Amino acid sequence: MPVLVSLVLRRLLGALPSIAAVVVVTFVLTRALPGDPAAYFAGPAADAQSVEEIRRKLGLDKPLPVQFLAYLGDLAQGEMGTSLITGQPVSADILARLPASVELTLCGLALALAVSLPLGVAAATRPGSWVDHMARVISTAGVSLPVFFTGLLLVYIFYYLLGWAPAPMGRLDLFASAPTTITGFYLVDSLITGQFATFRAAAAQLVLPALTLGLFALAPLTRMTRASMLGVLGSDFIRTARAGGLSRGTVLVTYALRNALLPVVTTLGMVFSFLLGANVLVEKVFAWPGIGSYAIEALVASDYAPVQGFILTMAIMYVGLNLMIDILYGLIDPRVRIEA
Amino acid sequence: MNAMLRGLCLATALATCAVPALAQSRDETLLVVVESGTNSLDIHAVGANPASYGVVWNIYDRLLSYGTKTMPDGSLSYDHTNIKPELAESWKFTADDEITFYLRKDAKFHDGTPITAKDVKWSFDRMVAVGGFPTFQMKAGSLEKPEQFIAVDDHTFRVKLLRKDKLTVPDLGVPVPIVLNSELIKKHATEKDPWGLEWSKLNDAGGGAYKVESWKPGEQLVLARYDDWKSGPLPKLKKVVIRDVPSAGNRRALVERGDVDLSFDLPPKDSQELAKGGKVKVTGTPIENSLWYTGMGVKQPPFDNVKVRQAVAYALPYQKIMDAVVYGRAIPMFGGPATPTKAVWPQPSPYNTDMAKARKLLAEAGFPNGFETVIHINQGVASLSEPMATLVQESLGQIGIKATINKVPGANWRAAMLKKDMPLFIDTFAGWLNYPDYYFFWGYHGQNAVFNVMSYQNPEMDKLIDASRFETDAKKYEDQVKGFVKMAWDDVPRAPLFQYYLDAAMGKNVQGYTYWFHRAIDFRSISKK
């Protein structure tokens, strides 16, 4: 265990410079963007004078180093500024929206895993068979159809034509009330507080967007499972295991899959962080109040504070995610633990 | 057994009463979808977006409002000629330079505090002090200084006039001059924020017909009826839910399937097809005092040459834009008589697509082989501006003008307008107050406001605009308006294209939807049956 603790600590320390760099780079980049927030927010009948007035109010008339110091001071107190587009503190916005994105992404990922692992294993055990071809077709289709297209298509079929899915208008339909916030995940919160009607409503809203995301994540996961399984299945220890008369299931799951999982977990981590970003389009299609659409809206309006807050949050999440994957490695493969 | 039976009876009773209650609440609830919702509950706050106009319109009262009228197609519109009382029971000119307002004695804010002239005075002082858009809008009605506003007693409020301005009274009926609960806000004011904007942008401090029940920015806003509202007949709708749905396709599906009651500000293609589909009611109203146009920077050669500008105006593909860009959901603003016949704005310009004439004018201007230029468009309204730019580009190519298209991101558009260095651009402008001189004051006057993107300066025209703004004689006013419209035709710094529609699609049971100049929904007049 101490090995694990020191690994975590070393990882965290190692992440500090990258986070500091993210803070500086986002600050400079957002300022370098063409576009003038003062002009944007001055409103429909502004003249040059009122634009200047807004600029002064936003503190944008001060030199950049002064603005940067003020930003650092706010950050130190845990404040990320106020978003002009929502009018709320950025930290509150992100806290409210991040769970929506994470919940959606996790559900999409779970769906993708549930399909891609068995599919990849099946394809690897019977290369060249119809299962293998099916796996190839599904993953090619999943990755080549843009998410906004699959999203709209699913809405069109399951909501507009068939009427099976609920209206694509966010995390809950209009008549359900949100559960008391504990984790921010509606599924979890509604279960904890025992609001089963809310749970059902939230789950129903999740199905289509999670499916859309899952389809997209299917391809890399299936391909990686298949390739990695193929490699493992061809190796000596599997032949030995088979020769030793172990059952097919034991060979496949205990010996082959466990060894093949390592690259899959790496891919999983990459897919997860990628999906968090790729969420934007799904969020737009399903009116999902997530963090991706928030960041895009802020970017379009040159609203600095939320963009900086978003990138910073994402950077911290990536660091955390990488850490988790390293730990997972250790659990799956003892060799990693010893080397660390 | 007995207990079980009783329980069963109770359950049945509950079930039977629960069902009609739910059905009833659906009848008294309006579900609205919009592309993006409000970012502020207070229009005076920095950066309050257009969606906030609709919020303050419903949760705050103003002294005055406007009546409604029925349009030729049977739809309802506000009536700019009929100014009626809201919080002020009545008002009159008590001197040549003074208007006195007599407030309702029974009106209360949402927290139960009576609304007094002190609140009005504080609110008016606030809007001329906070700067930015609210202050600017009030200046348009010559409401500029706190000294102008006097609370005579609890229910009498007086405005001293700086000058005789016909826009003063109409300007009191726009969304900006709201009456806020001054005592409530003062509790939350800080030294840095003496007017309590930070608090009021997140909280309801009003006395209007609706209260804010809950608000999740970027997600949904729920309004509940304020049952003690006195400034008008009690609204029929008990609840209004406004949900943000960014995807236009989904908004359309939602209203078509009847899951929502009203979808507001539709893209023209959707409104045309929804109207044809017949499942929902589509109400389109031409946006008053508004115009989409092709503008030319008159300070930049070759557009400093009036013949070049006229050539461009004759080369524009007017009808194609009507058919392929706005799908007929607009009023054509071309092919009119050579001299203005009426003192209205907008009105069709005398220009038409006439390539022969355009070529001839271009040759006379000294550019028989055309020239190269750049068309600037606002990407924030790309669904309209992009196809328009492509059509214009193609059409200008026919007379030898080689244009490239520069798509300016929405966030940068205003900065680009302020710079005034665009040779050729496509844009729109709409004025809240429906007077031709108001439009020209912003769009054509030599004061060179941001909306005079062309930097057009003509002292002759300025004289007419300035005179008409304060003209009291109807005949003289008409001549002045016709005079400056004619100059706008001859000099053509902007070539009018069309007057755009504001489209709303709603369930067939939704009644009383009314067009307003501020382009937001007034829920007070809406009912469902």
- Cβ-Cβ pairs closer than 8 A, A with B, add up to 150
Residues 381-420 of B with CB under 8 A from A: 409-412, 414-415, 418
Q: Is the pLDDT of residue B487 over 90?
A: yes
Average pLDDT over residues B98-124: 95
* CATH for A94-339 (3.40.1390.10, 1.10.3720.10, 3.40.50.720, 3.30.365.10): 1.10.3720.10
Q: What is the pLDDT of residue B19?
A: 39
Residues 54-93 of A with CB under 8 A from B: 54, 57-58, 84-88, 93
Q: Which range is least confidently modeled, A192-201, A209-218, B23-32, B340-349? A: B23-32
Between B392 and B16, residue with greater pLDDT: B392
Average pLDDT over residues B239-250: 88
Q: What is the pLDDT of residue A340?
A: 46
- pLDDT below 70 — which residues of chain A? 1-4, 34-35, 40-48, 336-340
Q: Is the pLDDT of residue B18 over 50?
A: no
Average pLDDT over residues B57-81: 93
Min Cα–Cα distance to chain B from A313, Å: 19
- Cα atoms found within 13 Å of the Cα of residue B279, Cβ hemisphere only: 16
Q: What is the pLDDT of residue B290?
A: 92
Average pLDDT over residues B45-60: 88
Question: Under a CB-based contact definition with an 8 Å cutoff, are residues A166 and A205 in contact?
Answer: yes
Q: What is the pLDDT of residue B22?
A: 46
Can you read off the two tokens belonging to residue B502? 């504001």
What does each C-alpha distance from B523 to A274, B74, B286, B308, B497 come to in angstroms? 42, 19, 20, 48, 32
Q: What is the pLDDT of residue A336?
A: 65
- Give SS3 for A20: helix
Residue in A closest to B241 by C-alpha? A174
Task: Using pLDDT thresholds of 50, 70 and 90, give the confidence band for residue B249.
Answer: confident
Cross-chain residue pair B140–A45, CB shorter than 8 Å: yes
Q: Is the pLDDT of residue B1 over 70?
A: no
Average pLDDT over residues B443-461: 89
Each domain of chain A, given as residue ranges in start order, spans 37-78, 94-339
Classify burial at B405, counting beta carbons within 10 Å of its beta carbon; exposed 0-12, middle 13-18, buried 19 or more. Answer: middle
ipTM of the complex: 0.73
Task: Tell how far CA B5 is from the center of its chain.
Answer: 60
Question: Under a CB-based contact definition with an 8 Å cutoff, are residues B297 and B454 in contact?
Answer: yes
Q: What is the pLDDT of residue B9?
A: 42
Backbone phi, psi, residue A240, to 5°: -60, -45
Question: Does any CB of chain A come closer than 8 Å to the CB of residue B152?
Answer: no
Q: Which CATH architecture has domain B290-501?
A: Roll (3.10)
Average pLDDT over residues B313-322: 95
B126-162 pLDDT, tens digit per residue, is: 999 987 778 888 988 899 999 999 999 999 999 999 9
Cite the residue boundaries of each domain of chain B with CATH code 3.40.190.10. 3-261+507-528
Min Cα–Cα distance to chain A from B497, Å: 21
- Cα atoms found within 13 Å of the Cα of residue A105, Cβ hemisphere only: 24
Question: Under a CB-based contact definition with an 8 Å cutoff, are residues B504 and B35 in contact?
Answer: no
To the question of domain B3-261+507-528 being in CATH 3.40.190.10, the answer is: yes
d(CA B269, CA A159): 21
Question: Under a CB-based contact definition with an 8 Å cutoff, are residues B117 and B153 in contact?
Answer: yes
Task: Using pLDDT thresholds of 50, 70 and 90, give the confidence band for residue B24.
Answer: low
Residue in A closest to B410 by C-alpha? A300
Q: Is the pLDDT of residue B425 over 90?
A: yes
Tally of CB atoms within 10 A around A133: 11
Task: Tell how far CA A74 is from the center of its chain.
Answer: 27
Task: Using pLDDT thresholds of 50, 70 and 90, give the confidence band for residue B6.
Answer: very low
Can you read off the two tokens belonging to residue B195? 């007017």
A26-48 pLDDT, tens digit per residue, is: 888 877 776 677 776 665 556 66
Q: Where are the alpha helices (H) located in B299-452, listed in sequence order? A: 306-315, 318-324, 355-364, 382-397, 410-419, 436-443
Q: Is the pLDDT of residue B338 over 50?
A: yes
Q: Which range is least confidently modeled, A265-279, B21-35, B93-107, B221-235? A: B21-35
Q: What is the pLDDT of residue A43?
A: 59
Question: Under a CB-based contact definition with an 8 Å cutoff, are residues B499 and B286 in contact?
Answer: yes
Cite the residue boundaries of each domain of chain B with CATH code 3.10.105.10. 290-501
d(CA A76, CA A80): 9
Q: What is the mean pLDDT of chain B?
A: 89
Question: Does any CB of chain B come closer than 8 Å to the CB of residue A159?
Answer: yes
Say which residue the tokens 């090995």 belong to.
A3
Q: What is the pLDDT of residue B380?
A: 77
Average pLDDT over residues B223-235: 94
Highest averaged pLDDT of the listed ranges A191-195, A253-257, B320-324, B378-382: B320-324
Q: What is the pLDDT of residue A270?
A: 84
d(CA A36, CA B451): 17
Average pLDDT over residues B362-374: 92
